[in-house]
């Protein structure tokens, strides 16, 4: 009689293949070794990428997920392997990134005994996962993995962690796999209330100064075409959060720019002058709203959102449309009247002229014998990418300059750590993005501080030969903290000046072609050479040490109090 039994470890691999997974990022260890043994046997079907630190596995999985729209997968062992995943899991949770993490665990009989490399990763990860589960029996594996992928990708996406004891990996089960399509009491896609859509349409059609603010929900909901159709039909100016960036092409005439602490002048100031504020797939984060007591108090607020927890959490709504944003915008579009709102648009144009004069011109074409600026470096990359590259930024001043000045033609092109602000994100995330989208150019923009947090992932690039382009904007400071110290702490630069190593020598130690730019006249040719390279490339640009990002809304201030200097 034929035996259909397989080990739990083999079941893990077969479940991943059934879910269409083609790449996993991870680091082996004792408690996950049975799964790695099966990975070895299935290596022609499932590509495993050996990172140099488990945190790198989660960020690479995030980059892959953000660039492709698929679920990213990371694997680690128990104890320190599992705890090293937590930062990336927390990052994925707050940025709504679909990810499944699989960790090994000590045998069931050892749970709670403080065995070698035993850590309660379920307890640790509960606050930062959409769902987690500890598997202690082999027969549970197919059902739990199916649930994990369904939960991670459905509704508002997020990270899921599955902890599998070693006995469950070794024991056998009768294997069969069925994808999960529903879970009792879990409603990831609320039922659209068409009356709410009509209320929203009436407010929009009667508005004199309507204003759209859109976030990553547009990208996650694959509603880019509906957004474009809405702004074009309604004539409403639209601004974006940093995670919403690239959902609408940056050169679209109705795209008025970036919201938030370092966003554009007009989009922030005019938030407090619109009469109807239409929020699409965004959560009114504090970096966008500034002081909530003074945020858009004159406006009627319409919130299109899939997660009921976000409705009225920060900003009180007039009309809440709780549904999948693609479905709700599709229902809204036929009800919207065609308009232009020319005089309202002119207000944005006037504010842009002020910002252009006070900030942008000097940043993109520095005068007064200034050193190289971060903004002009981004502008040079635009010149050679034609707006077609995926830009993966780390966290800090360079992140704000990247988001402010990058040009994008297509969606899923801006990948950065938004809500958690994780330094070290960009290098491994760029690896995942490039592996997920091999036909697109991927450029990582990193500060000298963040680069050293995950610098070991140069080893992953060297081993895999993934052709990512790495740009370190080196100002020899933890630049964003230094800016705050300059503006608000009387220039007491406490622990922010960086004494850096020879980055070129380190990159060349990993056999990555490298170049260092110290003069403005070298920048164009260096960026051209980098973008033309078929292999990975490391470019270090020595930028001004004390260049600041403006505009800026000080913490606790109103969006109307945005500073230009």
CB neighbours of residue 366 within 10 Å: 17
CATH 1.10.357.10 fits 5-174, yes or no: no
Catalytic residue among 258, 480, 530, 531: 480
Any catalytic annotation for residue 62?
no
3-state SS assignment for residue 41: helix
C-alpha–C-alpha distance, residues 297 and 560, integer Å: 12
Helix/strand/coil for 221: coil
Report the DSSP pairing between strands 210-214 and 276-280: parallel
Cα dihedral 245→560→304→238 (10° resolution): -50
Q: State the Cα torsion 530-23-102-308 to the nearest 10°.
A: 80
Element (H, E) at 9: helix 8-18
Say what angle helices 520-532 and 374-385 make with each other, to 10 degrees. Answer: 40
The CATH class, in words, for 371-542 is alpha beta
Residue 401: C-alpha distances to residues 243, 255, 308, 487 (Å): 14, 18, 33, 18
Point out the catalytic residue in the list 10, 54, 118, 327: 54
Longest Cα–Cα distance of the chain, Å, equals: 85
CA 352 to chain centre: 27
Beta bridge partners of 154: none
Pick the catalytic residue from 45, 116, 208, 489.
116
d(CA 262, CA 250): 17
How far apart CA 289 and CA 21 sit, in angstroms, is: 38
Measured CA to CA, the distance from residue 562 to residue 565 in angstroms comes to: 9
List all residues 6 or more positions away from 2 whose beta carbon is below 8 Å from its beta carbon: none
What is the residue-wise DSSP string for 477-524? B-HHHHHHHHHHSTT--TT-B-----HHHHHHHTT-EEEEE-SHHHHH
Q: Tell me how many helices (H) and strands (E) the chain has.
A: 24, 20
Over its length of 565 residues, how does the chain's per-residue pLDDT go in tens digits? Answer: 356 899 999 999 999 999 999 999 999 999 999 999 999 999 999 999 999 999 999 999 999 999 999 999 999 999 999 999 999 999 999 999 999 999 999 999 999 999 999 999 999 999 999 999 999 999 999 999 999 999 999 999 999 999 999 999 999 999 999 999 999 999 999 999 999 999 999 999 999 999 999 999 999 999 999 999 999 999 999 999 999 999 999 999 999 999 999 999 999 999 999 999 999 999 999 999 999 999 999 999 999 999 999 999 999 999 999 999 999 999 999 999 999 999 999 999 999 999 999 999 999 999 878 999 999 999 999 999 999 999 999 999 999 999 999 999 999 999 999 999 999 999 999 999 999 999 999 999 999 999 999 999 999 999 999 999 999 999 999 999 999 999 999 999 999 999 999 999 999 999 999 999 999 999 999 999 999 999 999 999 999 999 999 999 998 999 999 999 9
**Residues 198, 331 contacting (CB under 8 angstroms):** no
Predicted pLDDT of residue 1: 37
Q: Which residue, 259, 205, 199, is CA-closest to 230?
A: 205
Query: What end-to-end distance do the CA atoms of the chain give, in Å?
Result: 79
How far from 533 is each of 58, 512, 526, CA to CA, in Å? 27, 11, 11
205/187 Cα distance (integer angstroms): 32
Measured between alpha carbons, how far is residue 18 from residues 145, 177, 205 in Å?
10, 8, 47
> Residue 336 and residue 233: Cα distance in Å, rounded?
7
pTM of the model: 0.97
Tell me, yes or no, if 140 is annotated catalytic.
no
Closest CA to 173 of 323, 41, 3, 338: 3
Residues 6+ apart with CB under 8 A from 341: 209, 210, 235, 236, 237
Among 222, 144, 135, 139, smallest CA distance to 183 is for 144
Active site residue 480: yes
What CATH number should be reported for the domain whose range is 194-348? 3.40.50.1220
| Alpha-helical runs (H) found in 133-260 | 141-153, 166-170, 194-205, 217-220, 224-234
Write the DSSP string, 145-157. HHHHHHHHHSSS-
> Is residue 353 annotated as a catalytic residue, yes or no?
no
Is 226 tagged catalytic?
no
- How many CB atoms neighbour CB 53 within 10 A? 20
Nearest to 240 by CA among 266, 270, 267: 267
User: Where in the chain is CATH 3.40.50.1220?
Assistant: 194-348
3-state SS of 331-349 is HHHHHCCCCCCHHHHHHHH
CA distances from residue 9 to 12, 28, 88, 99, 477 in whole angstroms, order as listed: 5, 13, 24, 20, 46
* Active-site pick, 117, 222, 456, 486: 117
> Cis peptide leading into 551, omega within 30 of 0?
yes
d(CA 324, CA 307): 9
pLDDT at 3: 61
Q: Where in the chain do CATH 3.40.50.970 domains reside? A: 5-174, 371-542
Angle at 67 between CA 66 and CA 71, to 5 degrees: 55
166, 196, 300, 407: which is the annotated catalytic residue? Answer: 166
The predicted structure's pLDDT at residue 66: 98
């Amino acid at each position: 009689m034929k035996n259909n039994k397989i080990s739990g470890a083999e079941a893990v691999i077969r479940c991943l293949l059934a879910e269409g997974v083609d790449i996993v990022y991870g680091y082996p260890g004792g408690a996950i070794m049975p799964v790695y043994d099966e990975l070895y046997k299935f290596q022609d079907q499932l590509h495993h990428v050996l990172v140099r630190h488990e945190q790198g596995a989660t960020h690479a999985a995030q980059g892959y997920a953000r660039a492709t729209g698929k679920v990213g997968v990371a694997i680690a062992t128990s104890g320190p392997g599992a705890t090293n995943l937590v930062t990336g899991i927390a990052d994925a949770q707050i940025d709504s990134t679909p990810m499944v993490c699989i960790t090994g665990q000590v045998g069931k009989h050892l749970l709670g005994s403080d065995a070698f490399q035993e850590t309660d990763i379920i307890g640790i990860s509960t606050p930062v996962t959409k769902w987690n589960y500890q598997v202690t029996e082999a027969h549970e594996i197919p059902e739990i993995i199916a649930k994990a992928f369904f939960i991670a990708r459905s509704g508002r996406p997020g990270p899921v962690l599955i902890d599998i004891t070693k006995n469950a990996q070794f024991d056998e089960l009768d294997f069969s796999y069925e994808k999960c399509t529903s879970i009792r009491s879990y409603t990831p896609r609320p039922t659209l209330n068409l009356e709410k859509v009509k209320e929203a349409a009436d407010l929009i059609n009667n508005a004199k100064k309507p204003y759209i603010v859109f976030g990553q929900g547009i990208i996650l909901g694959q509603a880019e075409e509906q957004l474009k159709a809405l702004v074009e039909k309604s004539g409403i100016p639209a601004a974006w959060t940093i995670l919403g960036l690239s959902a609408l092409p940056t050169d679209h005439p109705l795209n008025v720019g970036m919201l938030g602490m370092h966003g554009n002048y007009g989009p922030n100031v005019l938030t407090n002058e619109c009469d109807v504020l239409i929020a699409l797939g965004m959560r009114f984060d504090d970096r966008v709203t500034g002081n909530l007591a003074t945020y858009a108090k004159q406006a009627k607020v319409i919130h299109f959102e899939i997660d009921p927890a976000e409705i009225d959490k920060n900003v009180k709504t007039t009309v809440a449309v709780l549904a999948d944003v693609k479905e709700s915008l599709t229902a809204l579009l036929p009800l919207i009247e065609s308009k232009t709102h020319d005089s309202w648009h002119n207000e944005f144009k006037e504010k842009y002229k002020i910002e252009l004069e006070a900030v942008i011109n000097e940043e993109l074409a520095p005068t007064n014998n200034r050193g190289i600026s971060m903004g002009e470096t981004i502008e040079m990359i635009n010149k050679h990418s034609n707006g077609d590259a995926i830009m993966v930024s780390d966290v800090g001043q360079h992140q704000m300059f990247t988001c402010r000045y990058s040009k994008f033609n297509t969606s899923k092109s801006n990948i950065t750590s938004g809500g958690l602000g994780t330094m070290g994100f960009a290098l491994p995330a760029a690896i995942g993005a490039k592996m997920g989208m091999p036909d697109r150019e991927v450029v990582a923009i990193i500060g000298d501080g963040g680069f050293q947090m995950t610098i070991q992932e140069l080893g992953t690039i060297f081993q895999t030969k993934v052709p990512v382009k790495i740009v370190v904007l080196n100002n020899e400071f933890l630049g964003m903290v230094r800016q705050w110290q300059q503006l608000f702490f009387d220039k007491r630069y406490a622990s922010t000046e960086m004494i850096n190593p020879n980055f070129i020598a380190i990159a060349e130690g990993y056999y990555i072609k490298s170049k260092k730019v110290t003069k403005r006249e070298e920048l164009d040719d260096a960026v051209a050479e980098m973008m033309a390279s078929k292999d990975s490339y490391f470019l270090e640009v020595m930028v001004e040490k004390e260049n600041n990002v403006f505009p800026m809304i000080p913490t606790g201030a109103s969006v109307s109090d945005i500073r230009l200097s």
